[in-house]
Chain A
């Protein structure tokens, strides 16, 4: 049994932030959880699906649908959870705006995981502004214990206000681990029934809809005021430090831990106080004003946008406090950088400047003078050994170059986003949000009228196809656009850890489910389709050339080959790959080391000393594609049983 389902209140365990959120949701007695995979949020739904048979968990097709699935449960009287990474909130935003207005019935919590520093994202978006935009309450856990407690309490809050509640976490909390003390697990009554015959405005028995907007928006404002009232005494807002500090840090989320640590490290406990806000929106006035009245200098430590900084400034402007007696430091004063994640060093730098501290002697003298470090080669991320994407991009790039009309490829979100890097031969020339490659291609494909004759290719993964590439594809077919979509179908949501999607014959819990055939869907839309194995470079290139040189229209090439790390393929090899030392001519070949220099699979090694390519036996995944890349047939593959 997982420790997450242990009913031993008071026990302490080491948990990942996301696990603490799961435990909090379980302690709130949720019945339904839905989401779409995205780092750093994925472990929440994944863990719930694994450990609990009492609740319904779903990897939905996208975040908007996930939010709708969770909302339906709330409408039917069951506590529910919707989980997504920040860009997913953008996808779900349309429904969220209406849900905030219509209100919810049973407690409903949205966990949004932001990725400050874009450690595993292609943007650095902020969810907190949505709380303000959507006019819903938001909590920000500052440590592992709070991740459990706040998630649990958020459901109560949601039921008190009949509003969805946002819990905002960040990568450094979700993916870090810390001590969590368990609370009690309830035994909820899970009876679903949707009441709709009551009064139009009765939150418990009436129909649930956003109109009449005037009345609903007014009541939404009242609920927010009520939330602010509740937040005034919340134990999630804490202060530590001298009664009248020389400098007050106002912080939230995991930034609280950095602030505390740096204040201790610099021995500033007597000079600096830390006000940590956990109930970030609507900002509770009293605890903030009370502290501001006892200091003259304020430093805001938060990531990524100056959200609390602005809220506090607005609060002060409308308060009895004398503005001229306070100086604010933070993003606006540039004491905290305006982009990127928070680090202890950023807090140190700000405090050192503001309090005029001496520089740290260790950082000054280390590495010791005279100890020159050799140049450390950077570790670029790339496709794994045996990754089908490397083969696919090798072919796409080859075909576009052969075609010689400056054709280009629109990228999309997944492991294959790395097609923009050297390991993907710089193949991707645009990269934005989920499904945008196909939408851009649909647009590019209409520009022939204005003289553009460059062939247009778009790529998307199998999961991305269902998430948001289908509407642009319909758009392209109907509007007679012209491009080739390459679906890089590696049989799972690989980037985030092989979550199933509608194209697979299994559901979130691994039970049998009807798969939806991508090729049939595309054909039904009216696209010309073909399926190839990307490991067969020749067949793939031939088909792609035919599509690119064709008479236009929307063409879909499905390159189907499972991810090398997929559970069914991992630790298996299709081929034993070797290099024949007599055939490999090294630098004398004229191939200019195409295997290691260009194809650059980590399963290959360039042995400069012996002027030969070799196979890295530890890393080689045995896909055998490099054998087709070697012009000298020096790389040989033998089929393994």
Chain B
């Protein structure tokens, strides 16, 4: 088995209900389980469709079954489908060595929509994340996904981006196999395109740091 950068490796995938981050954490989890790792995914999704924040803790180990909750300040990587959710996660789980992949498209909470609260500027968010992490990538995954045909593909683009960072032993073949085992054949093509787009944005260094 390939050795992990850290054992256990703690990955957080965060976003807002309806962005599909549960699917993306399951895909990544399945890919790593297929490689023989012990994987635990902890998630809260009772109210996820109702605009709440959703956070999945994906934990990978070659040794033991881990708990579904990452202890505070122990995340190795944060993959975020929504900018302020990144901040929320870093505040509790970040540490000086953490990496961040962040979709720059905001989804405004009700308090912001109703004008009671304000949403930090993209610049402020980027600067803060950069200061709070060891390495970071930013891109508008929602725009890329919309171009493919549906904003929901942002979650798979993020998975592709994560693979491209080489933080975890993820590769396209396992992704394709996992896709085929979980999705009907007509859904495989677009998901692969999304994955490749995610890989591409990291490898061509088009994501801002």
Direct contact of A and B (CB under 8 A): yes
Whether the Cβ atoms of B39 and A374 lie closer than 8 Å is no
A413 vs chain B, min Cβ distance (A): 13
Whether the Cβ atoms of A374 and B125 lie closer than 8 Å is yes
* Contact A178/B65 with A360-B73, A363-B73, A381-B47 known, Cβ cut-off 8 Å: yes
Tell me, yes or no, whether B50 is within 8 Å of chain A by CB.
yes
Tell me, yes or no, whether A378 is within 8 Å of chain B by CB.
yes
Whether the Cβ atoms of A348 and B51 lie closer than 8 Å is no
For A381, give its contact among B29, B52, B70, B118 (CB under 8 Å).
B52
Whether the Cβ atoms of A179 and B65 lie closer than 8 Å is yes
Tell me, yes or no, whether B198 is within 8 Å of chain A by CB.
no
Q: Map CB proximity to B onto A477-492 as digits: 1 under 8 Å, 0 otherwise.
A: 0000000000000000
Complex: A343 Cα to B67 Cα, angstroms:
9
Whether the Cβ atoms of A596 and B16 lie closer than 8 Å is no
Complex: A380 Cα to B120 Cα, angstroms:
17
Tell me, yes or no, whether A120 is within 8 Å of chain B by CB.
yes
Complex: A378 Cα to B94 Cα, angstroms:
18
* Contact A602/B120 with A175-B44, A344-B71, A368-B96 known, Cβ cut-off 8 Å: no
| B95: A residues at CB distance < 8 A | 362, 366
For B115, give its contact among A365, A384, A602, A608 (CB under 8 Å).
A608
Whether the Cβ atoms of B120 and A375 lie closer than 8 Å is yes
Q: Which residue of B lies closest to A363 (CB)?
A: B73
For A177, give its contact among B17, B40, B46, B52 (CB under 8 Å).
B40
Q: Which residue of A lies closest to B181 (CB)?
A: A3
Whether the Cβ atoms of A362 and B73 lie closer than 8 Å is yes
Q: Which residue of B lies closest to A374 (CB)?
A: B120
Tell me, yes or no, whether B4 is within 8 Å of chain A by CB.
no
A173 vs chain B, min Cβ distance (A): 8
| B52: A residues at CB distance < 8 A | 379-381
> Which of the listed residues B90, B109, B120 has the most CB atoms from chain A within 10 Å of its own CB?
B109
Whether the Cβ atoms of A422 and B114 lie closer than 8 Å is yes
| B110: A residues at CB distance < 8 A | 379-380, 382, 422-423, 600, 602
Q: Which of A10-30 contact B (CB under 8 A)?
A: 12-14
Whether the Cβ atoms of A261 and B111 lie closer than 8 Å is no
User: Can you name 8 A-B residue pairings with CB atoms under 8 Å?
Assistant: A171-B44, A172-B42, A172-B69, A366-B73, A371-B131, A376-B84, A384-B51, A596-B113
| A600: B residues at CB distance < 8 A | 110, 113-114
Tell me, yes or no, whether A214 is within 8 Å of chain B by CB.
no
Whether the Cβ atoms of B96 and A120 lie closer than 8 Å is no
The segment out of A51-59, A152-160, A161-169, A252-260 that lies at the interface is A252-260
Whether the Cβ atoms of A144 and B65 lie closer than 8 Å is yes
Whether the Cβ atoms of A565 and B68 lie closer than 8 Å is no
* Contact A176/B68 with A565-B49, A596-B113 known, Cβ cut-off 8 Å: yes
Tell me, yes or no, whether B167 is within 8 Å of chain A by CB.
no
B35 vs chain A, min Cβ distance (A): 11
| A14: B residues at CB distance < 8 A | 26, 29-30, 33, 39, 41
Complex: A172 Cα to B45 Cα, angstroms:
11
Q: Which of A583-609 contact B (CB under 8 A)?
A: 593, 596-598, 600-602, 604-606, 608
Whether the Cβ atoms of A348 and B71 lie closer than 8 Å is yes
* Contact A382/B51 with A179-B38, A377-B111, A422-B114 known, Cβ cut-off 8 Å: yes
Tell me, yes or no, whether B43 is within 8 Å of chain A by CB.
yes
* Contact A261/B109 with A119-B44, A618-B142 known, Cβ cut-off 8 Å: no
For A178, give its contact among B41, B96, B128 (CB under 8 Å).
B41
Whether the Cβ atoms of A606 and B113 lie closer than 8 Å is yes
A380-B110, A380-B111 given; 19 more Cβ-contact pairs under 8 Å:
A119-B44, A178-B41, A178-B65, A179-B38, A254-B67, A261-B67, A343-B69, A344-B67, A345-B72, A366-B132, A373-B87, A373-B132, A376-B87, A377-B119, A378-B111, A379-B110, A415-B50, A597-B116, A602-B113
For A606, give its contact among B43, B45, B65, B115 (CB under 8 Å).
B115
Q: Which residue of A lies closest to B94 (CB)?
A: A366
Whether the Cβ atoms of A371 and B50 lie closer than 8 Å is no
Whether the Cβ atoms of B90 and A367 lie closer than 8 Å is yes
Q: Which of B57-114 contact A (CB under 8 A)?
A: 64-74, 84-85, 87-88, 90-91, 94-96, 107-114
Whether the Cβ atoms of B67 and A175 lie closer than 8 Å is no
Q: Map CB proximity to A onto B2-28 as digits: 1 under 8 Å, 0 otherwise.
A: 000000000000001110000000100
Complex: A423 Cα to B125 Cα, angstroms:
27
Complex: A597 Cα to B117 Cα, angstroms:
11
| A378: B residues at CB distance < 8 A | 109, 111, 117
For B39, give its contact among A40, A178, A265 (CB under 8 Å).
A178
Tell me, yes or no, whether A508 is within 8 Å of chain B by CB.
no
Whether the Cβ atoms of A367 and B68 lie closer than 8 Å is no
Tell me, yes or no, whether B53 is within 8 Å of chain A by CB.
yes
Tell me, yes or no, whether A409 is within 8 Å of chain B by CB.
no
| B205: A residues at CB distance < 8 A | none
Q: Which of A345-375 contact B (CB under 8 A)?
A: 345, 348, 360, 362-363, 365-368, 371, 373-375
Whether the Cβ atoms of A261 and B71 lie closer than 8 Å is yes
Whether the Cβ atoms of A257 and B68 lie closer than 8 Å is yes
| B29: A residues at CB distance < 8 A | 14, 177
Whether the Cβ atoms of B69 and A258 lie closer than 8 Å is yes
| B116: A residues at CB distance < 8 A | 597
| B132: A residues at CB distance < 8 A | 366-368, 371, 373
A47 vs chain B, min Cβ distance (A): 14
For A376, give its contact among B45, B47, B88 (CB under 8 Å).
B88
| B94: A residues at CB distance < 8 A | 366-367
| B119: A residues at CB distance < 8 A | 377
Whether the Cβ atoms of A143 and B128 lie closer than 8 Å is no
> Which of the listed residues B42, B67, B110, B119 has the most CB atoms from chain A within 10 Å of its own CB?
B67
Tell me, yes or no, whether B169 is within 8 Å of chain A by CB.
no
| A608: B residues at CB distance < 8 A | 115
